[in-house]
Structures are given as structure tokens and as C-alpha cells.
Structure 1
């Protein structure tokens, strides 16, 4: 049987975490796997479900999770949400995967067509990884964060023993041995979350990978994170496939993974701006900021004098529920003619636009990769979780951005924006960003080919 025929006979089951920053790369991976001849089934929650009509080449199957607890759909901190999601989805995921296995077994009795070769589960879904293992299905954990972040998670037991975790005030600026350039203050954190709950969650994620996964798939590329990838492989003694940047390699259109509808009118607005003159501002789909921080951001933008495109999405300000926060009184008048505010933007197209000169970002990994992929320098304002890790790499490892600061203050914001958009520091960062863009563009699909071969080899191997 030819290799291409063998691939067409095999099915891969994918299960994303139901948040924008996780669904998008999972569907990008799905498109790449389908393009290599694999049949792809996406198991998904009914909460934040993807739209199957946008992906006719894929099969979508809801797991019909029980009614999610309030912790998932409320403004609870992300650790509480993730723990609740794992608890709510474990049994429904197991049942849905078992149903696929039974159906595949009946269909392939004669010719072995369409059996499940492997499952790819979002790395935060430790319960689903465990369930796949229990059913005898080889499972890979997709890390939608950086290799550096995942390495940090694997190191948490050691960091706890060494006194770095919980993070102590007197050690905030200490470099973390083995995780340089990270300082203690850059380690994964969720402000307002119970420290024990965070450490317990990270331990569950790491234990699930060590105990239930055949390997990990990371949305990154060797040229930017070779050292972290090598350390992960050494720690786990199993494969770690660097298959990114997925948004550059995937044939899936940019808008197909979106859970929010973008305002495409902003592209025409950008068309009328000078090259590299506009600061694009977006803190992603999940992060929330205090009302005071939001107002300092606004007046910092006003004081910078720079043209800007600002994503002010519903739910951005803590305490406002899912309503769009009102702009400060007088802000629209102060920025008339040089600013545009939208509820959501087609980010990849915005970053690729000739008018965009820099990106004020929360440093979520998707946003970071998309900025790197377009050679756009960054103004870093990490909010929680892995964003502090990514921000440190952006500013001190790759040199393609600068920090807003621990406390967002309008004067410092205006100064930082001016430096990044028009100063010598900004010019140097732009040059480095272009170098990273070249490396990202040179990333090939060879690692993806290795991933497919590995998936197919799992057929008769031990899980």
C-alpha cells in the first residue's frame, strides 16, 4: 500500500480547549493534517463551539457536555475555569471518543479503513488526555503556548522545592536557574487566583503529559525556541514536534477559527494611513483589565500623538460583565482624526498591513507569533498566565519589543509608544523583528511530516 493511501485510511481525533486562542491553532493543525491525507474528526464542547460550515473538509462531533458550572461562563479567574472545564468534560469526552472507536471498528472490519490512529488533545485538557489513555488511544498534547512556557510548567515542582513558587516579593527579580532569561516575576501567574490551585492545576497538566501522552506538539519553530524544545525533549524523553508557526503553514483562511466577528472596516481605515504609522492595540480575547488601567491606556494613547487602532472588546474591563466598556469622557475628541476603536479586528490582516508600525499586545502566544510572522515590534503588557513568560522573551531574549511597565501609567505609556513608533530603540527592534520574520517564513513543514509519520506508527505501538 502506498504511503499516501495509508494516510487516507487513518483518522485523527482532535479536541480543543473552547477558547479563541486554543480553537484557532487546533483548527490550523487540523487543516494541515487533512492536507496530508488524514481524515480529521474534531470533538468539541457545545460551549464556544466552532462553526462546522466554515470547515467542510473536517468532521465535527459535539461531546454534549453536561451543563457547565457557573465557574466556566462567569468572570471567574482562568484557573477556576480550567479546573471546572476539565471536570465537566472528562466523561463526555471519553464517551464521544469511545463511540468513534466503536463506529470505526464496525466500519473497518474488512479493510481497516478509517480507524483512529491518534488523538490530539489541547495540553490544558489533562482530563481528556487521561481519558484517551484509558481507552487505549495514543494521545499527543497540543501546546498552544510557547515551548518556554511549557518548560516552565514542567519545572514547577523543582521551582517549588527551590523556593521560587509561590513567588516571593523579595525574589521577584531573581533569575530562575535553568529558565533564563526568566525572573521569578515572569513565572506563570494568575492574579487573584489561589496559589495552591494554580500550582495544583499546573501539576495536573504536567502529570498528564508525563503519564498519558505519547508526545507533545508545540506551535513554535526551532529557530526561535531551539533550546527550550531540547530541554523539553530531555525532560520528557519523548518527542516534541515544533510544527509552527501554524498560522503561516496552515491553508485554513485566517477568519475560519474566529469565535468573534471582526470589524473589517478597520482595514479601509488603515489604507488611508502612512506606512508604519499606526499602533495596533489589542489585549486578546480573554484578558481583563481594571477600569483605572483601561483609562490610563486611553489617555496614554491620546498623549502619544500616534495614530492607533484599538480593540475594545466586550468584557475587556473587569466588573463590566460582557458589556463593551465606555471610553473616558473627552477621549474621542482628544484623538479625533487619528484613532479608531473597534470591538474586534481581523488581526492577521491588520498586522500584515503596511500602515501598522507596532503592536501593543498582551503577549498571548498566538498574538506574539502573528506579530513575529509579520516583522512587527511589540509593546508588551502581559496580563496573566503564560503572557509574562512570552513578554520576557519578546523584550530580553529576542529584542523585538519593550515593556509598558508593571503599572500602566499614561505618561510612561505615551513615552513608550513614542520610542517604539519613532525612536532609535524602536528602529532597532523593528530590524530585529524583520530578522525573526525571515526565520519564521523559512520554517518548513518537515516537522509536520515527522508528526504524521509518528501518528501512523502508533497503530500497533504501545500507547
Structure 2
């Protein structure tokens, strides 16, 4: 079924427009898969750049989801980290016109609704010109959205526009609705990324004009922030998460890394993911490698780039290095007992769904607050951090000790952390059961789509 061909009028047509980045595309695709599974009368056109269509690859998807492409007018995914503000400017400046032309070609049936990433600045105004309602999908935590919407409070308290002293970093921010009391050092440093944040503010200003707001989180995880935002924004808010690929978990085929996990003792393996966008310096990576080796812990390390170098560095060690793996399948394997993560929100949700304690190693933006919530609020992880602010690197001995502490199944702290992780896993798995909060909110959202004229 192709949306450019004639379809029965009873079909509703969702146009999905993710921000061009893996951490945004994946949850948008997971949402679309959930939508077409819940309603057989929905079809989806999933819009990405030509480059991203090639990067997505042949991942299985329902027949009623089709791809459409925009031209490669923005910096490549391979280099966007070199000039991130330039990348943001390009998305905001160059993709609006080709997207609007694409909408004109999607005529049978015409688009019923556009589901756009919150960071796509021009989505709402395109929808208004074309008389197509626009829904906003927020792919980070609800808690950090409340923080961003209250940046004026950070400014008025002297917590936003300049680099804080070491003593000021210890001050508690307890005045943001939906945000648990948090030290300033555990919030994204707006003064460092102020240009990026100001771009974000333009997008946040568009939220009240959207038809509704969708979260990828589970309502039970961030109840206070979601309830507050529901009252503040004046539009319907639906928590559709955890928006992770749990429905595709398959045990029919067994790649080599799964066969290796099958041979390991229960909860004995540390899964290490260095993320898909930002990474660390070469010197820091050397310390991480040596620290993990010295811990003696078995590990499965996914290396997106530099796989051969890492394999050489880990020769004779107790682990396996791969270039790619099915992360959620790995995390749900009984052999995995810990998850080294940069704390991107998608990975955070997958870690919680699987019930695996996390070793939090944030690098950038929302990862910093996610790490704090993992360790202090949800109490399902340990944070790797410099002992002193003046330290340039987290050294191998520190890494060795924190890895051993995370993987210690006998300590009282370790037992309590695993109990909390199991409790959250049960909550997450309950959310996506037939009568759970995720499906209830998705069904409510679909009813809204079907009532759109």
C-alpha cells in the first residue's frame, strides 16, 4: 500500500517527521509501529533524508509504513558533531520547503495528521498552511522538558548564564516544577550550549500550537513532570512509552554475540555501549579500556567505529567486541548484569525495561540529568565521575573499582539496586501490556486522530 496511490477513504494517513538523528528516528519509528498495530486503518509515511534512508537499512517494519525522502541539504550524519549548531541551523533553514512539496504529493489519502519531533521548528507552521494538524513528539525525558520551559527561573536564580564556581555547583535547584531537588552540577550547562538552547526555545514556543504532545517515557516513571506539563501547556498530553522495540524481540536466530552470552553465567556480563553520536577523547578511552580489563569482569562491548582497534586492545581479555548488536535483546539476556551507558533517553528506557543496573557515564545535554535521575531518584545505577573537578581524566583504577562495584551481586547496595531495577522493569512491562498505560494513551491518541476532520 503506497500513499501516492488511491486508498479507501476510511484510511487515516499519519506523516511522521523525526529530527534527523538516531536518538530521534528510532523512537518515532517505534511509535509508528505501535500505531499501525493498534489501528488497522492507519497508514504512515515516514519522512527522512536520503542519507538516513540508507542508514536505517532493512529493519523489518509493517506493510503500512512507507518511507519518503527529503534531499540531502543538511550536513552528513558522519560530520554533524563537528558543528552541531551549524547542523541545527541547516535543518531549520533548508528542509521546510522540500517537506511542504512532499506533502503536496501525498494525496491519496491526504495527510490526516503530521507527527513531528518537537525540535523541527517549522512543522507547526507548515501544518497550519496546509490545514493539517501537527502533533509534537518529545524524545527526551518529560522532566528535562519542564526544566527547559522554566529556564527563566534558572536565570533569575543565577543558575544559567555563567560557569558556576565549585561551591555554586553544589547548590540545590528545587524550584522547577516536576524536577526533583537536583544539584546544579547535575543539570545541563546552558551557558556552554547557549546557542543550541536558544534554538530549542524557539521550538518550545511552538508547543501550545500543536494538537497534542506525545512523550516517549512511561507515565509511571515521570508522573509529576507529566501532570504538571499537562496543566501548563493547555493541550492534550499522552505518555506513549516506553517507546522501545520490545515487540520485535526475537529468539529465532542467534548471532554470535548471543551464542557467546548463552555460555556465560547469569548476570555476569557488563554490556558497554559508547553511544551513536558523541564519544570521549582517545586518552579517556584508553583509561576506560584498561580499567574494564583490570576489573576482570566479562563484557560485551558495542563499538560504533574503531572496532578493530578495540579488539586489538582487548586481546586476551574476558570480553567480546562487536560493531553492532540488538541492544534490547542483549539487555534482556539473563547473562547481562550491568549496562555501561551514556544515558541517552532511549538507552535509559531500554535499561529500565530490561531491569539491568546501569553504570552512568553521561557526556552531553540531557544525558547529565538522566544520569542523576538513574542514580539518585530511581536508584538503579552508579555514576562514573571525576573525584576532583581539576582531574582531566577518570583514570583506570577508578574505572576498575566502579565496574567491580556495579557487578557485585553480593553486597547489600548491589542487592538493593537490583531489586529496584526489577521493580522498575515490572512497571515498564506492565505499561506496555494490553491494558497498560502506554496502550491506553496510544488508543486515546488514535481516537483523536480519527476524530480529526
Normalised TM-score (structure 2): 0.86
Question: Are positions 1:273 and 2:264 aligned together?
Answer: yes
User: Could you say what secondary structure the match of 1:247 adopts?
Assistant: coil
5+ unaligned residues in a row in structure 1: which ranges? 1-5, 105-113, 256-261, 315-322
* Counterparts of 1:395 and 1:418, CA distance in 2: 17
Deviation at 1:151, TM superposition (A): 1.6
Normalised TM-score (structure 1): 0.84
For the Cα contact (< 8 Å) 1:71–1:80, is it kept in 2?
A: no
Q: Give CA-to-partner distance per residue, 1:58-86, whole Å, 9 cap, x none.
A: 34343433532469744424443233222
Question: Are positions 1:350 and 2:336 aligned together?
Answer: no
Q: Give CA-to-partner distance per residue, 1:207-255, whole Å, 9 cap, x none.
A: 1223x3122100111211100101211221211110111226x645689
2:135 to 140, 146, 160: 140
Question: Are positions 1:415 and 2:417 aligned together?
Answer: no
Look up the match of 2:309: 326
For the Cα contact (< 8 Å) 1:270–1:355, is it kept in 2?
A: yes
Question: Are positions 1:398 and 2:378 aligned together?
Answer: yes
Q: Give CA-to-partner distance per residue, 1:346-374, whole Å, 9 cap, x none.
A: 10110011100010101111111111111
* Counterparts of 2:370 and 2:139, CA distance in 1: 12
Deviation at 1:87, TM superposition (A): 2.0
Look up the match of 1:200: 198
Deviation at 1:8, TM superposition (A): 4.7
* Counterparts of 1:328 and 1:374, CA distance in 2: 27
Look up the match of 1:39: 43
Higher alpha-carbon deviation: 278-287 or 262-271: 262-271
1:226 to 223, 241, 245: 223
Cα gap change, 1:441 to 1:74, in 2 (>3 Å): closer
1:87-236 alignment, distance < 5 Å? 87-100=93-106, 103-104=107-108, 114-170=109-165, 171-176=168-173, 177-178=175-176, 179-189=179-189, 195-210=193-208, 212-236=209-233
Cα gap change, 1:54 to 1:237, in 2 (>3 Å): same
Cα gap change, 1:98 to 1:150, in 2 (>3 Å): farther
Deviation at 1:306, TM superposition (A): 0.8
Look up the match of 1:55: 61
Deviation at 1:391, TM superposition (A): 0.7
Q: Give CA-to-partner distance per residue, 1:29-59, whole Å, 9 cap, x none.
A: 1111112121212122112124477335134
Look up the match of 1:434: 422
Cα gap change, 1:343 to 1:448, in 2 (>3 Å): same
Root-mean-square deviation (Å):
2.6
2:282 to 283, 291, 294: 291
* Counterparts of 2:359 and 2:294, CA distance in 1: 16
